[in-house]
Every structure is written in C-alpha cells, then in structure tokens.
A and B are shown apart, each in its own frame.
Chain A
Amino acid sequence: MKAERKRLSESDGATSVLVVLMGFLVGTILVALVGKNPLNMYKALFQALSGYNIDNGRMNVRYIAETLNYSVPFILCGLSMGFANRVGLFNIGGEGQYIMGLTLAQTVALLGPQIPVLHWVLAILAAIIIGALWGGVVGILKAKYEVSEVVSTIMLNYVALYLSRIICLQLPGATTYKTANFPKTALIENTFFQAITHNSLLNNGIFMMIVAVIIYWFIMEKTSLGYGMRATGFNKDAARASGIPVVRSISISMAISGAFAGLAGGIVALGSFKYGRVLAGMDNYGFDGIAVALVGNCTALGTTLAGLLFGLLKNAQALMQGKQIPKEITFIIQGLIVIFIALRSALKLYQEYLDKRQLQKEVGVK
C-alpha cells in the first residue's frame, strides 16, 4: 500500500493527472465565486468531449471532430517543445517555426503546381522543411557558439511573424488580412470525415499528427540517435565525455523540433482555412505547445493526451459562452495547470517529508 503510494507520487504521469485535476478544481471554485453554476462548465466540456448535449439530449458528432481538429496543432507544437526538451533545450520558438510552416504552406498552396495529391504534399513538405531550418539554425548557433536558444528562439518568433506578413502580402489576391482562395488540390480536407461529422473541419492533418507522434516515440525511445539525444539531455557532460557527438545531437534535435512545429503550421493553413491568412498576430499554438509538453512530461503519449485536453478546452469555449460561463475560464484552467506543473517539486518535498516521518517512527523519535 505504502510502496504503491510512493510509486504513484514518483510517477510523472500520476503527477500530471493530479495537476490537471487540481487545475479544474480551482477553476470550478472560481466559476462558483463569480456566481455561475460550475455544472454548466462541465456540461460544455462533456459536450465537447462526447458530442452529447445533456440539456436537450441531442447528440452531434461534430463536436468530437472539432475537439480532435483543435488538438492537432496543440499536439504537434507539444511534440516540438518536448523533443527539444528531452535533449535539454528550451525551444520557445515553436511559434516562429509554426508561423514559417504556415507561411510556406500557404505560398506553395497558391503558387505550386495544381496536381492532385502532389500539390498538398509539396505544401506540407515545405512547411516541415522550413520549420526544421528555422529550428536547426538555433540548434547550430547553440551547439557551436553557445548562443542561448531561449533568446534566439524568442527573437526568431518576431522575425517569423513579420517575414510572414511580407511574404503573404505578395501572394495572389492579398489584402491586409487574407489572400486569394486556395485551389482545391492544395486542401487537405477529408470528405469522408465531413460526411460523418456534419461538415466539421477535421481533415487529413490528424493522420499526419498520428504519424508524427509515432515518429517522435520511435526516434526517442528506439533509435540510437534518440539514445544519444536523451543522454545529452539528462547529462551533457557525461554524454560528451562518453564520445556522444553533443553538437550534432543538439543541432539535429532543434531541427526535428522545428519540423514538428512547421508541420503544425502547414496543417492549420491547409486544413482549417480555405485561403491564406496575412497574420496580424501570433496564433499562440507554439506557446501553448510549451504547456502541452510540460503537462505531458515530454513523452509521446503524455503529450498527445495533454494536447487532446487543450483541444477539448478550446472547443468547449464557445459552448461555455452559450451557457453563460465566461470562456476565459478555459485560459485560467490552462494557466493554473501550468502553475501547478511548476509546483510539482512541492509534491516531491511532501513525499520526502512523509518518508522522513516514516523513518523517524521506525527509529523511535518522539
């Protein structure tokens, strides 16, 4: 029993679940404090999760599909953050890599050859490659010249945003906020999904996301590349002393990290919109990805689950507003979860305290 409890407290997964529950608990209290019925919040969340509307007993699969669709960029940006984090890097540049992916996907969508399949494949590949370059540059700067990746990624986020505006304003039919519509061949819509989910935006991006999750897990846990990267992340000095090419690990990991975020940008560009956007501000998927990865402990499965949770919260926003719950509560819950994650060391301290009390009892301290 005691060993069981100890194992749970040492398990990062259990901590994450606990942290999420605490986030919801405090969120619930806040909703009650502002005089709203927290039950309505859970009804909205339940509807976003299952498609079932408790109030009128109607079922609509579309909500499930939208939750999934919202999760895709969260999960991919979470993987982006997580991959770098496992190698000991803090990639705050997911947003910039995402924006560059989105921009290039839009460019290829509008200017590329309109051949079925090939067109969107090219656009997605362009997004992945530019993301990888955008991240890889940071990796090389870090590995060779010890430029802090935190600073360079933050700066590159702004470079990406304004570069994106410059590029997109040159695209066909560009106004200050949108371009011409994409040709049909560039879209990654899935007519089967549309048919069964009452025209949700769920698209082929979800398959790409699933492949990305598998690749993430595969590289990290199964390959010698991932082994060297994990060693670098846990203990850079020991990795270096053991002959692991640390410089290469860092550069490659930032490139792969950027590729995930770039893919997210490509999927959002081609899946959720039918035209190119001239961004006025950031979409914030890259930043939310940091939280997703932290909640998911940077593992493939954990990040996927955390991304689904964030997608669920996002999809529930509109439903909450319909039930007089301010949608901002979802941001508050997200924020609380991140704060509690940061406080997880407090849990460890508590466990240590319990251990110590146990020992004291055994040796007979009064």
Chain B
Amino acid sequence: MSEYAIEMRGITKTFPGVVANDNVTLQVRPCEIHALLGENGAGKSTLMSILFGSYSADNGQIFLDGKEVSIKNPSVATSLGIGMVHQHFKLVQNYTVTENIVLGMEPTKRKLLDLKSARAKVARLSEQYGLSVDPDALVEDITVGQQQRVEILKTLFRNANTIIFDEPTAVLTPQEVDELIEILRKLRSEGKTILLITHKLREIKEVADRCTVLRRGRYIGTVDVADVTEQELAEMMVGRAVKFEIDKPEQEAGAVVLSLRNLEVADSAGIVKVRDLSLDVHEGEIVGIAGVDGNGQSELLEAITGLLPLSKGSIILDGKEIDRCTIRERIEAGLGYVPEDRQKFGLVADFTIAENSALKNYYHPVYKKKFGLLDFNAMEREANSLIEQFDIRSAEGAATMAGSLSGGNQQKVIVAREISLSPKVLVVAQPTRGLDVGAIEYIRRRIIDERDKGGAILLVSFELDEIMNLCDRIATISKGQIVAVNRQDEVDEYQIGLMMAGSQAEVAL
C-alpha cells in the first residue's frame, strides 16, 4: 500500500499561448479531504481535468495507490474509481433523480431496463452517506443543493473512491454550504478521498485536512491546514500580502436617485422572472442585491438598462421616468452599467481600448470633426488618460485590442469607461468574477470611491463576501422578489442565507 491514494508527478500542460500547468506535483493521502487552492487561471481546473481524463498532460505521471495509470478519457477515470462533481451540473432536467443517476450505465434484467433495483441502490447509498434526496423526484423540481447531491450520488453509484469537487459552493446558499461540508465529512469517514477545488479560504480552513496551492500554473506547496492561518494561505495563493477588508468611511446617504416601482420582467422566453419588485437607491450609497444565481437578478438589471422590456411598473432615475426610453437615452440620463458578462455586453473584443472607451459617447461633440468625421486622436487621448487613471496594463497602450487583455484589465476598461461618463446611477453586476486578487481589490476600491463621491450604486453579486464588504444596504432577492432590505450592520451572512433560500424576513430579525 502506497502512502498516497493519488499522486500526480511533474504534470505539464500547455495550451496555445499559455502554460496551464508547469511541472505540478499533487500528493493526496487516502481518506483525506485535500483542497486545491489557487486564483482563477492558476491551473486547478486543468490539473483536475487531467486527473479526470478530460485533457491529456504533455508530460508527467499519475499514480493511483502507487501504480502508474494512464487516464485517456473520463470513462477510464470512472473505471479507476475517480468521480467528478462539476461546477455546472450535468443533469437531465425532466428525468427523475434515479434516472439521472443510472444514465449511461442503466441496469438491465433480461435486456429490459431495471429501474427498481437501481432505485433501491440509490436509496441505500443516499442513506449510507446522508445524502437525502427523493429518488423519484424530477430533477427540475429539486433545489440546487439537492441537485448537487444527485451529482455526488452519481459518482458513488459508479463506485468512486476519489471524488473531485469543482468549486462546489459557488452555487449554494450559506446553509447549503454547511450541509455540503457535513456531507464531505461523512464521505471521508466512509473511506472516500476528496479533492476540493476552491478559492474560498474559509471553507478550506473548515473542512480540509491538507491543501495544495497553485499559482500561475506552478506548484507552490502543500500544507497541513491546521498549521496555517487564512492569511498565510492567501499569501501563498497570491504571492504577496493581501488585505481582505476594505476601508469604507461612514456616510449619510442622500436623496433617492434610482427608484424601481413594482417591476415585473419576463425573460426572452416569456417566463416572468421578476415580480412586483420595488427598491430605492440613494446618492452616496451602495445597495447590494444578494441572492443565488438565477433568481431574477440578470433580468432585473437588463430591464433597468433597457436590454429587456418591462412588463409592469416604472423606473425613475433622478426624477425622470426612463422605462420607455431607449438604451441611449437612459445612458444620457445618467445610467452606467458594468454588465455581468463583460465579453458579451461590455466590450467589443476586436476594437482597441481607445475605441472601446468611446463606445457609449462616440457621437458626442468631443469626438466630432467636420463632415461626420470621428476624431480618433481625441479618442486616443481620452483612452490614454483612462489607462493612466485606472492603471490598465496593455501591450500597446490605447491601440491594444480589448480581446487580448487579461480579464482584470478588460474589466478595468469597462469600469473606467462607465465611471468617466460620471453616471448618476451605476449598475454593477458581478464586478469581480473571474478576476485575480489584485484586480478584485482595485475594482472594489473604485466602486467605493464612486459611492464616496456621491454616486448611487446598485450591485448584484453572487458572492456574499462581496455584498457584505461593499454594501451599505442589502436587498435579498429570491424567486424574483425582494425578501427584505436591511442595513449592512443589522444582518449577518447566515441570516441573508436564510432569506436567499426564500424564507421570510422574520427569521432574520
């Protein structure tokens, strides 16, 4: 018996233009919860995809229980007892839990599908590991947390000894996170080996035994979690000292600038996603909308910015009703927008930084020359000043194509453009998703600066930390409705979590 259940030695994997893993080593002991920590782009997912057979490594070896194996594809991984719970579940919505679990390896009796014995096995497994789900429920009817359990059951059904969890808490409420942590402990005590991909330090401290840190594709080290603080883990991950809390001076909020009244919004398929939603945002405050992804946040913001039509209600910006205005009129009225999907809605990747920075006001007199000519020099001047003010790092300055920038710098271009238009209201969605720690700090700082200058900010984030850190008031959304609006200092994450799950405000206060 080898010391390690899984050992990956000297793994190197390159993609065009990037070395995702550079001679990475990972040693996982049997029956431990081993966390894999790193920022976005550090190479965690690549390493796990190699272990699961989705990618093949350029170099390096993989050993299971001391025996070298070659994992060519996920089926091989499954037969070797490796299972993976993906961040985005791979479930068929209108199949039952049991049907989903057996999918791909349906048990048969005399060539006929034998769901009965499968159902019994599912029930037994869910009993054994404390994974309570109804085997006969349709997947579309159960909660996200339960869907995740179905994914775990799928791996157990395939006799996995090692289970890889890819950012499992990203889609869960704090309560569901607690339950998941219980499940992970139970799995460990039943003899499973767990690999946990995450960038959340608190979860690692809470549940993991050991932790391997990757940074920019390189192996930094493996530590016993009990021996290190969160701060030390963060420094290993980022490579320098990190400050978590942001200084935010107390400030009295001013007059109402954005007023949403009884909004109802349907998505493009016609399904009502926001119902009877009312909310005010004042000058000099940040109002956060907390909620699990998919509870109407995107539709709400798209209705405010004019990308989706409003079915009912009205939107008042600085005393002016804007819900019948075109997108451009709303922008002119002082509405800024940092979209969630920055590559789709925020930037034109094939435009330069200069062209992108003028995307919303290129028709203004500043850029106008005679005969409808556009003043590209003025554009470049403006962009250069933004590059300086917002510390945008690029290869060729204002002439750099936006598509070739890193995620953090793309976001800086968008934030710079929106702030430079001095909006009365800035609507911000998931401003730091997928960014590295340095860029996260910077973007958050800028948002707070806008608030300090008297701007009104409406922030949507799925990261409760971000909401708690930045916001003055927090509106919790569930199924398209605001459950409650609280001052930041009168609620904690746990209470917000309960409201996110849909229970009424009394629970919290």
Is B345 touching A241 in the complex (CB atoms < 8 A)?
Answer: yes
Within 8 A of A (CB), among B328-350: 328-332, 337, 339, 344-350
Is B17 touching A355 in the complex (CB atoms < 8 A)?
Answer: yes
Point out the residue from B19, B305, B358, B371 that lies within 8 Å of A363, measured CB to CB. Answer: B19
**Which of the segments A69-77, A153-161, A228-236 contacts the partner chain?**
A228-236
Point out the residue from B12, B16, B348 that lies within 8 Å of A365, measured CB to CB. Answer: B12
Chain B CB count within 10 A is highest, among A237, A362, A366, for A237
Within 8 A of B (CB), among A231-251: 231, 234-235, 237-245
Point out the residue from A224, A225, A238, A352 that lies within 8 Å of B344, measured CB to CB. Answer: A238
Within 8 A of B (CB), among A314-366: 352-353, 355-356, 359-360, 362-366
**Hey, which chain B residues are within 8 Å of A223, CB to CB?**
371-374
Point out the residue from A228, A230, A243, A365 that lies within 8 Å of B14, measured CB to CB. Answer: A365
| B contact residues, range | 35 or more
Is A241 touching B307 in the complex (CB atoms < 8 A)?
Answer: yes
* Assembly CA distance A242 to B344 (angstroms): 11
Nearest CB on B from A54, distance (A):
45
Is B14 touching A241 in the complex (CB atoms < 8 A)?
Answer: no
Point out the residue from B330, B351, B362, B367 that lies within 8 Å of A234, measured CB to CB. Answer: B351
Does A222 reach chain B (CB closer than 8 Å)? yes
**Hey, which chain B residues are within 8 Å of A224, CB to CB?**
362-363, 367-368, 372-374
**Hey, which chain A residues are within 8 Å of B59, CB to CB?**
365-366
Nearest CB on A from B155, distance (A):
32
Does B22 reach chain A (CB closer than 8 Å)? yes
* Assembly CA distance A355 to B19 (angstroms): 11
Is B348 touching A356 in the complex (CB atoms < 8 A)?
Answer: no
**Hey, which chain A residues are within 8 Å of B23, CB to CB?**
363
Does B252 reach chain A (CB closer than 8 Å)? no
Is A365 touching B346 in the complex (CB atoms < 8 A)?
Answer: no
**Hey, which chain A residues are within 8 Å of B359, CB to CB?**
231, 238-239, 242, 244
Is A225 touching B346 in the complex (CB atoms < 8 A)?
Answer: no
Nearest CB on A from B340, distance (A):
11
Question: Main SS of chain A's interface residues?
Answer: helix
Is A360 touching B374 in the complex (CB atoms < 8 A)?
Answer: no
Nearest CB on A from B267, distance (A):
15
Given A227-B374, A238-B346; A360-B328 close (CB under 8 Å): no
**Hey, which chain A residues are within 8 Å of B331, CB to CB?**
242-243
Is B327 touching A243 in the complex (CB atoms < 8 A)?
Answer: yes
Chain A residue at smallest Cβ distance from B367: A224
* Assembly CA distance A364 to B330 (angstroms): 55
* Assembly CA distance A223 to B363 (angstroms): 10
Is B362 touching A363 in the complex (CB atoms < 8 A)?
Answer: no
**Hey, which chain A residues are within 8 Å of B332, CB to CB?**
243
**Hey, which chain B residues are within 8 Å of A241, CB to CB?**
305, 307, 327, 337, 339, 345-346
Does B433 reach chain A (CB closer than 8 Å)? no
Nearest CB on B from A6, distance (A):
11
Nearest CB on B from A132, distance (A):
18
Is A363 touching B337 in the complex (CB atoms < 8 A)?
Answer: no
Is A356 touching B374 in the complex (CB atoms < 8 A)?
Answer: no
Bitwise, B205-216 to A at CB < 8 A (1) or not (0) is 000000000000
Point out the residue from A238, A352, A363 that lies within 8 Å of B12, measured CB to CB. Answer: A363
**Hey, which chain A residues are within 8 Å of B348, CB to CB?**
231, 234-235, 238-239
Binding site for A on B (CB under 8 A): 12, 14-19, 22-23, 58-59, 305, 307, 326-332, 337, 339, 344-351, 355, 358-360, 362-363, 367-368, 371-374
Beyond the given pairs A241-B345, A243-B329, A359-B14, 5 more chain A to chain B contacts, judged by CB atoms under 8 angstroms and listed by A's residue number, are A238-B348, A241-B305, A243-B328, A359-B17, A365-B59
